Amino acid sequence: MLVGTSLKMYFTHARTVEWTRTVAAGLRERSLDGVEPFVIPQFPSIPACLEAARSSGLAVGAQDVATHDAGAFTGEVSAAVLAEIGCRYVEAGHAERRALFGETDDIVAAKADAALRHGLTPIVCVGEPDRGDPARAIDHCLDQIRAALCVADAADRDGEIVIAYEPVWAIGAPEPAGVDHIRAVCSALRDAPPARPRRRRVIYGGSARPGLLPLIADTVDGIFLGRNAHEPSAFEAVLDDAASLG
């Protein structure tokens, strides 16, 4: 069961490293068979987080990645470098990057492919923009998944994919999407036949919080936390939820 969090741009570097040290220390004291925790900090904090997480089982990812591997792309960070320093995951297609930075389906597909060709696992974020019935959400998300993976599929790229279902209307909201809605959408995303055989896991984000995972566990492969994991104790509570599921 995957349990992860993106810290976005909320923390200072010092707080990011302290959060990681605290969670890593807790992980070293826990028995969490079958639970795979990860954290996604800002770029400058990644090396220190990798060091703080060493020997704890806490994986580290990146919030973005360049579409190219090398060259004159000022300000970009390549999948090659992220893999070189020890990252495992890369986000692609988050709703905020689509809305704030104009990322298109083509860009998301190029980023997912860049991650896969360097052995990273892309966390492909999908979600419908407006609250509605599960059937409409499923159709929208399946379209997003097909678009996000079309380049990698055409290249016959191997590797694992994580699909993060984050309904846009639930991101930053007081409550996550309803349990029945989450279960319906995530079940459909898990069961949909992929265009190319590869390991694919589905996790839920969008104001996810402690206590939610046990209610949806049979329809997801994990949970993706945001602000509700800013306190290490809250993240650890979700880890314990995951461990209790066996």
Residues designated as active site: 94, 166
DSSP, collapsed to helix, strand or coil, labels residue 66 as coil
Beta strands in 63-192 (DSSP E): 89-92, 121-126, 161-165
Amino acid occupying residue 86: G
CA distance 231 to 198: 34
CA distance 56 to 130: 39
Amino acid occupying residue 69: D
CA-closest candidate to residue 31, choices 245, 192, 241, 240: 240
CA-closest candidate to residue 224, choices 134, 102, 91: 91
**CA-to-CA separations, 227 to 18, 110, 143, 174, 210, in angstroms, rounded:** 16, 28, 28, 11, 11
Strand partners, 201: 162
Residue with tokens 């936390």: 225
